[in-house]
Amino acid sequence: MLVLEDGAPRCLVCADLGHLVFLPRGDTALTRRAREESTLSVVVVRFNRRKSRYERQGVLVEEAALARAEARCLADAEARRRRRARDARRRAAEDERFAAAFTAEILRLFPGCPDERARAIAAHASVRGSGRVGRSAAGRALSEGAVISAVVAAVRHVDTLYDQLLMRGVPRHEARRRIAGAVESVLRGWEEAADVG
Whether the model pTM is above 0.75: no
Q: How far apart are CA 66 and CA 29, in angstroms?
A: 12
Asked if 55 and 86 count as a contact pair (C-beta separation under 8 A), the reply is: no
Per-residue pLDDT of the chain in tens (197 residues, 90 and over written 9): 566 777 787 777 777 788 899 999 999 999 999 999 999 998 988 889 988 988 999 999 999 999 999 999 989 889 888 998 999 999 999 999 999 999 999 999 999 999 999 999 999 998 888 888 888 888 889 999 999 999 999 999 999 999 999 999 999 999 999 999 999 999 999 998 655 54
